[in-house]
Amino acid sequence: MSILVDKNTRLLVQGITGNEGLFHTAQMAAYSNIIVGGVTPGKGGEWVLDGKIPVFDSVKTAKEATDANASIIFVPARFAPDAMFEAADAGIPLIVCITEGVVIHDMMRVRNYLDQKGARLIGPNCPGLLTPGEAKVGIIPGNIAIPGNVGVVSRSGTLTYEVLYAMKNLGMGASTCVGIGGDPVNGTNFTDVLEMFEHDPKTEKVIMIGEIGGNEEERAAEFIRAKMTKPVASFIAGQTAPPGKRMGHAGAIIEGGAGTAADKVKALEAAGVKVAKHPEEIPTLLR
């Protein structure tokens, strides 16, 4: 079982003819046969990957021709908001935006619009999703994870890879891995994904990888305490970060004493979550 993406996903790639889009399209297509088309304005009628995937001028046209139910965005930051708007207008229910550097003000407008349209956004500035053995939607390496019953949700792409590989080495598999991204304004947060995992009958345990900045981990801790019946293990990155200095993601900054790693660890432990001191310890905590 999985959440959000599986072998029945019908995926469009927005920005498919760009260098990043084409490279990762090849990687995703090699992992699973879920890509039904791509979108690049002005390139409609062309084909990529040796004639295997058609290219359309718009998401609307692509959806009408392919019955796509998901879209992934590989376009420059200045074009990403319009790409998300276009996907929502076309009726795509799941939109994944890999692009980093999207302006916060633009993301506030996008989030409000997508909420009105009822579209689910993963990202921006995220690695996407991976349901091992079924679907790869994004840039998470497919060979670092095996199918299993552990749900993974993370703000950090690199730490996600480390934890998935550590799980694999212990023979532990993932149901779905969701990289929500580290920007201050994104489409899907920890609580959203934790709720999906709680209702997924084949996900038996959950790993949550957080980081300094904001209060999403504290909100997640409250949800875990009040609503979750499945065991959760966690790691919080940035425990040595100095106050006022951004570390990696745009949202990873401690301001006014809020958003510290210590506060997040305290909240999670109070909710019954086992918190690792190092990311490679997480799989052991769940065994």
3-state secondary structure the chain: CCCCCCCCCCEEEECCCCHHHHHHHHHHHHHCCCEEEEECCCCCCCEECCCCEEEECCHHHHHHHHCCCEEEECCCCCCHHHHHHHHHHCCCCEEEECCCCCCHHHHHHHHHHHHHHCCEEECCCCCEEEECCCEEEECCCHHHCCEEEEEEEECCHHHHHHHHHHHHHCCCCEEEEEECCCCCCCCCCHHHHHHHHHHCCCCCEEEEEEECCCCHHHHHHHHHHHHCCCCEEEEEECCCCCCCCCCCCCCCCCECCECCHHHHHHHHHHCCCEECCCHHHHHHHHC
From the list 24, 199, 249, 278, the catalytic residue is: 249
> In the annotation, is 24 catalytic?
no
- As annotated, the active-site residues are 249
